[in-house]
Structure 1
Amino acid sequence: MMIFKKLIFSALIVFLIAIVTYKSKADDTEIYFGKPKPVNVLLVLDVSGSMAWTVDKCNDSYPYTRCYPRGAEQSRLEVMKDALNDFINELPSNVKIGILTYSSFENIDLLHEVKSLNEGSHKADLLNSIKGLEADGGTLAAGAIYEAARYFRGEYGNYDSPIELDSNCGSASNIVFLTDGQPNSLKSKRWRYYRSINSMLDGNGTSCAANDDGKDCTEKLATFMSETEQVSSVSDSIVKTHTIAFADDLTSKDFLKNVAQNGKGLYNEANDRGKLVEAFKNSIKSDIEQSMLVTPSVPLSRSNRLSTTDELFLALFKPEKTQFWPGNLKKYYFKDGNIVDKNDVPAITDKQQFVDGASSAWSIQDGNDVTLGGIAQNMTMPRKVFTNLLEKNLWTLKNRVETDNNKITRSHLGLPTTATDAEFKSHIKWLYDHKINYKNSDGEEVEVNRFGDLLHSQPVAVQYEDKSLLFVGDNDGFLHAINGSDTRGKEEWAFIPRQLLKNTSALHENQPLVSVEERLYGLDGDIAIYHQDKDKDGIVNNGEKVYLYVGMRRGGKHYYGLDISVPNNPQLMFTITGDKSVSDEVTAGLSWDNVHYYEGLAETWSKPFIGHIKWRGGKRLVMIFGGGYDSETQDNAKLEAGAPDSTGNNIFIADAVTGSQLWNARTDAVHQRAGSIADTMTNSFAADIAAGDLRGSGTIEHFYASDVGGQLFRFDVIQEKSSDATTIQAAKIADIQGSGVNGNRRFFTKPDISFIKLQGETIGLVALGSGYRAHPLNEDISDRFYLFYDKKVMTREFEDDVITEATLYNVTEKVSVTDPVTGDSRQRFLSIFEILADDTKNNGWYLTLSSGEKVLSDSSTINYRLFFTTYSPSSDDGDVKQCSAVTGQNKLYAVSVLDGKPAYFRDAQPGGTIELERSIELVTGGIAPPFSVFFPINDSGEASESAGYVGLEKICGGNECDFLDQMTTVKWRELTGKQLDELRTE
């Protein structure tokens, strides 16, 4: 029995490392933040008669009567209305706010309950009510605070308490109490409010006086609300009281200071519109900041990784609560299977963090600080920053991003036409300047060398005759070309597509994030490289071409193709877009720009597969990619199984030099079953395509694609012998969707293809794990790991029926078997022969994962062993709805690709027996990357100790990695002549 398997197809090994409030829309960065406290704000506003006075002029001889402003001066009420309008319009949309007004005994009204500003027409209703406020009557302060307390306690009429009963994070509840004068109207113990207030205070063992117009009652109510849980079933349900003295006298101010102090709130003064707006803001500033995002739990969140020879390049980022997240690219080394710094000292701790005193190759003791060392600290001025404004040669002066380039407009940068010249130039300078000031998670203003976060983009290397360039994309929108051969690390140039210049304004302002999904993204997709390596030396020389392709992931619906054959003179070959407006822009006046509109292309998550294909009698260099991710539909965490996507549900083949569309599956694939192939392609294809050559032709013959609807498709490329026509036939192989939300299993990972020759028949083995990559904290879906037997791939035929979960063997648990000789019963796992012998379940197997556990990274199959990682949001972190960030729990599985039996990890059991375990728990936090194998080679060309890693976590080294013996591979890409000969021999 022989097994063929894809492993590593070049000297480069690239993989991800994961070290470390959301709405219904999801994003995988949610793991870096805790759920924020809900912020409740009840504005308790004085509308007594004195609010009709001007701020500083009126006749004090007639209190509590209407006093009309003189001339053009506004009344206090009008000033308050304008200030409230400004204040509410500047609040984040997730803040919950309501209004209670008060004057005399009969006029205490809850005008609007506390609700989110983005809930229906609530914001507009608030502003309309403010516009209609009128001043009249006395100042019953104690009564107003009492009614506000009743409302927060859920005792006010038919209104529910605004404090969330199911919030694990508690609530940040606030009363903002504004008045322009002394309280009055609470004159006697006989008054109902006095008796009611003392009844409430009695629960706290206190009471208040009745002979001071309610001052004592107001102050003690503030104490009661700030020290006593207002909703018994909710922890942290206290209510703070902030006060604003609006044009008040000294006595009133002393009273309001006492109320604020007792209420654990802030005291503010104001006597005009601007100061009143600031007073409102200051009152709840602290809680509003908490309502954005909870500070990330770890300083280093994730890195992407590239290994060349014995060098290791780590692409890092640090999550922040603002738009700008700092990133970096650092260089380390491999020695004896371990990661070391430039001094040959181990660089990684047992907790998968950098050693504090470690020094990456381009710096001194940068340790665990993302912003120190690396390329970020070594960037210098002047930088070469290009965009694609006027021609395809990006390196020309016409495309330089600098203040002297008058072709850059305010519109390009997302600025209004009214922006001043100084503002305009400041934004341009932000794009190319390497130093910026930003507030970190601790609120500190710090200066850093600006390098955007490298969230999902994986660095790739291209070796030229005189240097090695590393290419990586960041979420500021730049593709960076970095000289990895330089002793200090040097950025050679950076390119930002003009479609991403519009983000400049928001990034420049660097405002706090209200929620994760409000983050802006740039060139966040994986990079693909094609090198026309004629002499097979791995170096770009002798006029050879090298092309780069990059997508955007959540950054947009574009792919960019660049010719980087001349390292410092990049050219933009083409743009592929799913955004019709981008194509229309070119038609309207940018005829030089080679833009191709691909209808239905969604967010470009799928890394293009670059290779040759037999096409209409010739050989064509193509890029094959999935239709992308339909975030409009799939970001809904409560989406039920079977819901179709409107975009992304296609597979495209493009000319890899011109970008022109050659083929798309929905219209051009020849379906091998009844009906249209388009009818079966219901969901978006966010995952990478697995493509390869099984017959030694040197061209792509088959490719597999998985979608977020739990479906798997195979496509076979057939060059007709009798004509120049190329046919690509296709059919759905598997559909494992269940029902409802629980059964909405999604595939975000690349199909992992291997083959086995069993009893004279070659069977394709397709490994795929399900998991909601866009919402890793989700625990509603029951996920699985699947292995599908594709029994007819070699004959280019398809089974009559689609594989469903019902036709797969559930290998999660052992089964009871009886020894035919002794009759004894024992527990064991089934073998592939037993699975194939079951006519009802012989299409493969599946493994049921624990609650919340999901597969978010690609699997790897090595010598019969299938390795994959899983992520669970809970484990020791408790409830995923908690306020702190959820680092989660990762596992590494090692099972037989044939039948899912444990295949590598050993566990000593009582009695001295050794049991194989399917998985081990990893130290790695965040979302673990795939399992990868390193075969480092030093400068002398000598092989170092091989090692297996998940991110920065070493799994095995040397002889421990026994599965690396006698590896046999089928490379799912073009093979060299020598490789083809080896394959035929095997």
Structure 2
Amino acid sequence: MNKNKQIPSHWMRFKVSTLAASVTSLILAGLPVQIQASDIDIYQAGGTGTTKIYMMLDKSGSMNHDTYMKQDYGNSFTTKGSWWEWWDTTTEVCSKGTTINSSLYNSLKVGEYNYTIKDTDMYCQVDLSKTFDTDDAGYKAKIKKLCVLQSGTTYNCYNRIVNLRKGLISLILDSTIGKDIQLGLGVYSGSKAENLQDFLSMDPDTTNKKTLINKIQKITANGGTPIATAYNFAGKVYIDTSGSSNTSESCTGNGIYFLTDGTPDGDSANFSYPSGLTKKTDKNLVGTGSYSSYWKEIGYYAQSIRAHNKKVKTATVGFGGGYLTSDDAIITQGDKKYFDCSKVGTANSNERNLCLWGSKTIPNGTGSEGGYGEGGFYTAQSSEDLVASLKSFITETTVPIEGSTIGSSTIPVDALNTNQLQPFAYFPMFKPLIGTQDQLWIGNLKKYNVIDGTLYDINKKLVYSNATDFNTALKDYWFNSSAAQPDQVISYGGNLSQLLGTQLPKLDGSNLVLQRKVFINSDSSAGELKSAESILKSETLAEREYLYGLLGYSKLTEADLTALRQKSYTEQLTYLKTKDALKGYQLGSIIHSSPILLTQKGAIVADTGSLGSVDRDDYVLFGTTQGVLHVVKSGTQNAQVINGSGIASGSGEEVFSFVPKEMLARQKKGFFESMAVEKASDNNDNFYYGIDGPWTAHTVYEPNFYDAIVDGKTVERDGLQVKADGKNSHQYVYGGLRMGGRSYYALNLSDMSKPKLMFHIDPDSATSGALSYMGQSWSKPTVAYIKWNGQRKLAMIVGGGYDMKYEDPTFTSSSSGNVKGNGIYIFDAENGKLLWWGSSNAGNRDGTATGGVETKIDGMVNSIPSRVKTVDRDGDGLVDHLYVGDLGGKVFRVDLNPSHKANDVNNKFVLNAFEFADAKEAGKNPPRFYEAPTFTIHTNTVAKKYAVISMASGDRSSPLKSDSSAQDMILGFYDNDVTKTTPAKGTTVKLTNMNEIYKAGAATDKTAGWYYRLPIITATSGGNSKSYQTRGLSEGVALDGDLYYSIFDPSKTNNGSNGSSTSCSGGIVGVSTAVKLCLPSGKCGTDTKITTVGDLGGGIIGLNVGPGSTQGSRKLIFNKPPEICIGSDCTQNSITEYQTANKLLPTRWYDMTPYVGAK
């Protein structure tokens, strides 16, 4: 994908912009329900919010006194008693051969900035070529570290006020200190504090940096050290002022950088608390003598301003030689550094309290550090140290704006009663890590309630805290309280909590039991899959040790795997018994593999108070980018849970997971939590996509008659079931990998305890022939019956797939052999044998009764990643026509012969296969079709039937780019030939033969169809204008003469609610909006412009049909009711409801006239 470099985020706030009703029933398969975005460009890293640092600086007399240069640059240091009396045991400063000068010379520079010399500035010059003492190595090393090389062996050592100014100027001039950093400046001495500069953004395109530097240059040192007074003053800078930007307070990092080289002096312990600031006294800083009251109030105040909604952190800095400490005072844990305050001063001393005041809580520490300022304690001996401490504090204070995600909840149709939708949503969450080296995005899947079109957890707590952001600690139907909860958003509850709570490895006596069931196709043959444990025992499959990452040891390291390779299976288990700390699971993200509902049994009941079915056995199937296909128990709720109790046992537990062998070879490091970090931040070539393709199920039930007890009475149930033996019933699932590879897999799940591989279509192993032309397996399989050699045959129909050449938005293919995926394929759905394919690469071959039929389709030269639209015209349950678009702007129709017989030249499998339409405009790149068309039948004024083939174009590979000259459109092609008894091969439909709708003065007399040009939006930012093509990136929905599409506008950014930046979350670039047209002409009555129904939310969001106000009604689902605004007057838009009883348009067209084969 085309990636933008982004600042990595540390955590994510997860959101979904719309509910999605995913229709899993084959009966309603014609309703498009899911979006299949190929790219991840729309997910933007959170980056960081505005960071505001108020620098409160000590300018007391000790900052510019030659006595204190003895502390800073003396030969050897010991501590002597009181706060400010840390000095060299020798009386010489800068020692032999040096001089303390009263003023600096005029050549001092800070970077490219000319430092303005003051008469009071002092320094000493040290020539290290001289001999000082017999043991002077430590002294010379200190001079090299703290002083500035002038020339040769000569160093200039500056006093504290010079180092302070130099350090601050260096920081301000640093290119990494940009517009998102705001700095304010205060100083204190004598008995007061004062503000020198309100907050200024360090935007390099303004004069703000110069302004602040000028203020710093004017700081002079004199007087006492009123620390408490200064701190009270600095806190009020935040509490007394409102935010200066439209960024949420939770997005703004606030901090006080408090620097001193002394002790409380000439001070007052009387802190005043502004209105709205509550005094917090949870911890107490204890001082000695006259300082006791100062420290107590300082500690209270630090806790109070940190607990305020502005969350003001405090960092404290001990400046100068009086705070020189040993290196062992720094404690490193991971990438974090902490200060051990026990290394500073003595208990209750001023210096110890200064450290505790700012220190951060040390994980697993003694508990003495932290709890007050939480910004960190730093010692600074030089201007470089000061810069480092300020940068570190800025990092600590900066709030990472949590990147947001988008996903479509699945509200499945009840497979046993297709007139109802279950009131549950299956909700994918994942954590985008843009601009990092992470190859895997972690995720989770949860199950929530749907009440009045909104998501709730099992305690009837809203899933959303506002229009975009999640509430935390939500309990879904799959929440497991015994599981570790690393956070309260993504890993809280869901399938992941069930894995962590119920399926971690455990000891049974002295035996280690691996509880998770993981299956692999260890070879290419069909049949029962092999368990991961059996493969580990067999010691034959390469890299098999990586499977332990999926068996409950996701925290193993490469060193652990190396050790495991040297051991037998029994020895490996013994080794793992000692690795409890390395237990864990992670799930990949669910980006495009929308969950599907699998129902193995149940019975329909006439009870309006329930779901309409009982005794269900439901499962959910989904793929993740980790390369794993999961099957989990959905739960057997017959009614919604809204009080937190009554959850069905086992809900959310994984029944098994399937790992294609190719994933073990291709992305095995994704099985572990810290290994998949080899992706270049600006390149996704080795991003782990895993099993990211959409899957589909085909279920055939058989009767299940049984008795049940209801209200104490025995009643007879007439149920349906899938039996494990599969003789009269079955449950098959089919799917591909999308950008994870080129394969298709089919599994027999009739017996959930023993999943079987039906077949594996593996284009990678084909060096020639039909399969070798297949691209990445993007096309969602259509599973339906066809007429084959005079018999009904279950078939899997897919588009040829995707070629990475289309990552270039200007790429198009004009001849055969340029790309992969330029074809249509029909496979036997029970054994995977290729029955037929059509392409410009194919020949014209009749084949045999077992397959091998192929049809040359000359214009089919571009990839076909979309689902293939199938049409059963006469209600006999057999597919009669295929429609599909390609990435070259063309649409193809294939007419299957209802009288096909092998080796009969008069009854070939395909009657017609041809280029039905071409949407390319002269002189422009062709538009691209990534989704299947919508097919509807109409009758004209002379009672003649014709079809409207509706499609929307848009480049999903590069949704944010406008490099292509293609004009995207919504189109309605008229097909007058498909309705004939023997369908005719018509003339290719061109734009020149179609009416352009909603355009003043456009022709209205064209007879081949209509089209609507999607707007090109011009957006201006920073004085620069850029054009954005709005795009149609989802299938349409046709309901009772109305035609709906979702249109993606890449010019908008969804940092919060529809482009605002008031929510503390990362951006999703682009917003989707639902629009309505009318069939068959495209235009709705006398309307002069297309109807906007409402915003669907940020990102690429498809249209979805869900339950209306009654069980028998349907309507488009929105996350929040859309509004119609005229000026500032907004009213809620009424969403049309469609009644299912004889009103919802059927998904199949049944023609009363016969459909015959050849004439």
* TM-score category (smaller protein): 0.5 to 0.7
SS in 2 for 1:32: coil
Establish whether residue 378 from structure 1 lines up as the match of residue 490 from structure 2. Answer: no
Which one-letter code corresponds to 1:314 in the other structure? Y
Give 1:505's match in structure 2, choosing from 669, 675, 687.
Answer: 669
Q: Evaluate the alpha carbon distance shift between residue 926 and residue 224 of structure 1 in structure 2; reply closer, same or farther with a 3 A threshold.
A: closer
Q: Evaluate the alpha carbon distance shift between residue 680 and residue 476 of structure 1 in structure 2; reply closer, same or farther with a 3 A threshold.
A: same
Give the distance between the partners of 1:407 and 1:283, measured in 2 at CA.
53
Establish whether residue 687 from structure 1 lines up as the match of residue 866 from structure 2. Answer: yes
In 2, are the aligned partners of 1:13 and 1:306 still within 8 Å (CA)? no
Q: Evaluate the alpha carbon distance shift between residue 13 and residue 400 of structure 1 in structure 2; reply closer, same or farther with a 3 A threshold.
A: farther
Query: Residue 523 of structure 1: CA displacement?
Result: 1.1
Establish whether residue 949 from structure 1 lines up as the match of residue 1116 from structure 2. Answer: yes
Which one-letter code corresponds to 2:696 in the other structure? A
Give the distance between the partners of 2:1141 and 2:873, measured in 1 at CA.
23
Establish whether residue 890 from structure 1 lines up as the match of residue 1072 from structure 2. Answer: yes
- Find the counterpart in structure 2 of residue 634 from structure 1: 806
- Find the counterpart in structure 2 of residue 260 from structure 1: 384
Query: Residue 928 of structure 1: CA displacement?
Result: 1.1
Give the distance between the partners of 2:568 and 2:46, measured in 1 at CA.
35
Query: Residue 688 of structure 1: CA displacement?
Result: 0.4
Q: How does 1:420-499 map to 2 (within 5 A)?
A: 420-422=562-564, 449-465=585-601, 467-486=617-636, 487=648, 488-499=651-662
Give 1:813's match in structure 2, choosing from 990, 995, 999.
Answer: 999
In 2, are the aligned partners of 1:710 and 1:736 still within 8 Å (CA)? yes
Give the distance between the partners of 1:656 and 1:635, measured in 2 at CA.
31
Give 1:342's match in structure 2, choosing from 452, 455, 458.
Answer: 458
Give the distance between the partners of 1:349 and 1:182, measured in 2 at CA.
54
How many percent of aligned residue pairs carry the same amino acid?
A: 20
Q: Evaluate the alpha carbon distance shift between residue 684 and residue 951 of structure 1 in structure 2; reply closer, same or farther with a 3 A threshold.
A: farther
Which one-letter code corresponds to 1:260 in the other structure? E
Which one-letter code corresponds to 2:521 in the other structure? N
In 2, are the aligned partners of 1:865 and 1:903 still within 8 Å (CA)? no
In 2, are the aligned partners of 1:16 and 1:303 still within 8 Å (CA)? no
- Find the counterpart in structure 2 of residue 529 from structure 1: 697
Q: Evaluate the alpha carbon distance shift between residue 364 and residue 661 of structure 1 in structure 2; reply closer, same or farther with a 3 A threshold.
A: closer
Establish whether residue 727 from structure 1 lines up as the match of residue 910 from structure 2. Answer: yes
Give the distance between the partners of 2:795 and 2:492, measured in 1 at CA.
40
Which one-letter code corresponds to 2:699 in the other structure? H
In 1, are the aligned partners of 2:691 and 2:738 still within 8 Å (CA)? yes
Q: Evaluate the alpha carbon distance shift between residue 963 and residue 437 of structure 1 in structure 2; reply closer, same or farther with a 3 A threshold.
A: farther
Give 2:1030's match in structure 1, choosing from 837, 842, 853.
Answer: 853
- Find the counterpart in structure 2 of residue 761 from structure 1: 944
SS in 2 for 1:317: strand
Establish whether residue 32 from structure 1 lines up as the match of residue 195 from structure 2. Answer: no
Establish whether residue 552 from structure 1 lines up as the match of residue 737 from structure 2. Answer: yes
Query: Residue 799 of structure 1: CA displacement?
Result: 6.2
Q: Evaluate the alpha carbon distance shift between residue 806 and residue 530 of structure 1 in structure 2; reply closer, same or farther with a 3 A threshold.
A: same
SS in 1 for 2:1038: strand
Establish whether residue 870 from structure 1 lines up as the match of residue 1047 from structure 2. Answer: yes
Q: Evaluate the alpha carbon distance shift between residue 960 and residue 641 of structure 1 in structure 2; reply closer, same or farther with a 3 A threshold.
A: same
- Find the counterpart in structure 2 of residue 389 from structure 1: 522
In 2, are the aligned partners of 1:685 and 1:708 still within 8 Å (CA)? yes
Q: Evaluate the alpha carbon distance shift between residue 412 and residue 236 of structure 1 in structure 2; reply closer, same or farther with a 3 A threshold.
A: farther
Establish whether residue 363 from structure 1 lines up as the match of residue 529 from structure 2. Answer: no
Give the distance between the partners of 1:737 and 1:453, measured in 2 at CA.
36
Query: Residue 768 of structure 1: CA displacement?
Result: 0.8
In 2, are the aligned partners of 1:612 and 1:621 still within 8 Å (CA)? yes
- Find the counterpart in structure 2 of residue 75 from structure 1: none
- Find the counterpart in structure 1 of residue 93 from structure 2: none
In 2, are the aligned partners of 1:305 and 1:458 still within 8 Å (CA)? no
Give the distance between the partners of 1:972 and 1:426, measured in 2 at CA.
58
Query: Residue 948 of structure 1: CA displacement?
Result: 2.0
Query: Residue 143 of structure 1: CA displacement?
Result: 10
Give the distance between the partners of 1:552 and 1:388, measured in 2 at CA.
15
Give the distance between the partners of 1:598 and 1:236, measured in 2 at CA.
63
Query: Residue 618 of structure 1: CA displacement?
Result: 2.7
Which one-letter code corresponds to 1:614 in the other structure? K
Give the distance between the partners of 2:567 and 2:468, measured in 1 at CA.
42
Give the distance between the partners of 1:539 and 1:501, measured in 2 at CA.
35
In 2, are the aligned partners of 1:811 and 1:845 still within 8 Å (CA)? yes
User: Which of 714-723 and 333-342 deviates more?
Assistant: 333-342
How many residues in Structure 1 have an aligned counterpart in Structure 2? 726
Query: Residue 856 of structure 1: CA displacement?
Result: 1.2
Q: Evaluate the alpha carbon distance shift between residue 458 and residue 489 of structure 1 in structure 2; reply closer, same or farther with a 3 A threshold.
A: same
- Find the counterpart in structure 1 of residue 1143 from structure 2: 967
Which one-letter code corresponds to 1:420 in the other structure? T
SS in 1 for 2:747: strand
- Find the counterpart in structure 2 of residue 703 from structure 1: 882
Establish whether residue 787 from structure 1 lines up as the match of residue 969 from structure 2. Answer: no
Give the distance between the partners of 1:28 and 1:425, measured in 2 at CA.
42
- Find the counterpart in structure 1 of residue 27 from structure 2: 10
Q: Evaluate the alpha carbon distance shift between residue 264 and residue 677 of structure 1 in structure 2; reply closer, same or farther with a 3 A threshold.
A: farther
In 2, are the aligned partners of 1:17 and 1:305 still within 8 Å (CA)? no
- Find the counterpart in structure 2 of residue 332 from structure 1: 448
SS in 1 for 2:598: strand
In 2, are the aligned partners of 1:639 and 1:744 still within 8 Å (CA)? no
CA offsets 1:934-975 (integer angstroms, 9 cap, x no match): 379xxxxxx7263423464567999941576742544349xx
Establish whether residue 745 from structure 1 lines up as the match of residue 927 from structure 2. Answer: yes
Give 2:174's match in structure 1, choosing from 191, 207, 226.
Answer: 226
Q: Evaluate the alpha carbon distance shift between residue 384 and residue 563 of structure 1 in structure 2; reply closer, same or farther with a 3 A threshold.
A: same
Query: Residue 611 of structure 1: CA displacement?
Result: 1.3
- Find the counterpart in structure 1 of residue 229 from structure 2: none
Give the distance between the partners of 2:789 and 2:491, measured in 1 at CA.
52
Query: Residue 857 of structure 1: CA displacement?
Result: 1.3
In 2, are the aligned partners of 1:306 and 1:458 still within 8 Å (CA)? no
- Find the counterpart in structure 2 of residue 104 from structure 1: none
Q: Evaluate the alpha carbon distance shift between residue 364 and residue 255 of structure 1 in structure 2; reply closer, same or farther with a 3 A threshold.
A: closer
Which one-letter code corresponds to 2:1039 in the other structure? I
In 2, are the aligned partners of 1:323 and 1:510 still within 8 Å (CA)? yes
CA offsets 1:799-837 (integer angstroms, 9 cap, x no match): 66422223221113355xxxxxxxxxxxxxx9xxx84xx
In 1, are the aligned partners of 2:424 and 2:447 still within 8 Å (CA)? yes
- Find the counterpart in structure 2 of residue 407 from structure 1: 540
Give the distance between the partners of 2:745 and 2:885, measured in 1 at CA.
23
User: Which of 7-16 and 884-893 deviates more?
Assistant: 7-16
Establish whether residue 613 from structure 1 lines up as the match of residue 613 from structure 2. Answer: no
Which one-letter code corresponds to 2:404 in the other structure? V
Give the distance between the partners of 2:974 and 2:1096, measured in 1 at CA.
33
CA offsets 1:315-372 (integer angstroms, 9 cap, x no match): 3122232333332332234456655543566655661655557542233899982322
Query: Residue 745 of structure 1: CA displacement?
Result: 1.8
- Find the counterpart in structure 2 of residue 569 from structure 1: 754
SS in 2 for 1:579: helix
Give the distance between the partners of 2:994 and 2:900, measured in 1 at CA.
35
Q: Evaluate the alpha carbon distance shift between residue 577 and residue 261 of structure 1 in structure 2; reply closer, same or farther with a 3 A threshold.
A: same
Give the distance between the partners of 1:774 and 1:576, measured in 2 at CA.
25
Give the distance between the partners of 1:640 and 1:233, measured in 2 at CA.
42
Which one-letter code corresponds to 2:833 in the other structure? S
Give the distance between the partners of 1:658 and 1:890, measured in 2 at CA.
40
In 2, are the aligned partners of 1:472 and 1:479 still within 8 Å (CA)? yes
Query: Residue 713 of structure 1: CA displacement?
Result: 0.4
Give the distance between the partners of 1:452 and 1:209, measured in 2 at CA.
55
Q: How does 1:593-608 map to 2 (within 5 A)?
A: 598-608=771-781
Give the distance between the partners of 1:669 and 1:597, measured in 2 at CA.
10
Give the distance between the partners of 1:479 and 1:626, measured in 2 at CA.
22
Query: Residue 703 of structure 1: CA displacement?
Result: 0.2
Give the distance between the partners of 2:659 and 2:393, measured in 1 at CA.
41
Name structure 2 gaps, 5 residues minimum: 1-22, 49-106, 114-143, 179-201, 211-323, 328-377, 415-420, 504-514, 548-556, 602-615, 637-647, 705-718, 846-854, 1018-1028, 1123-1131
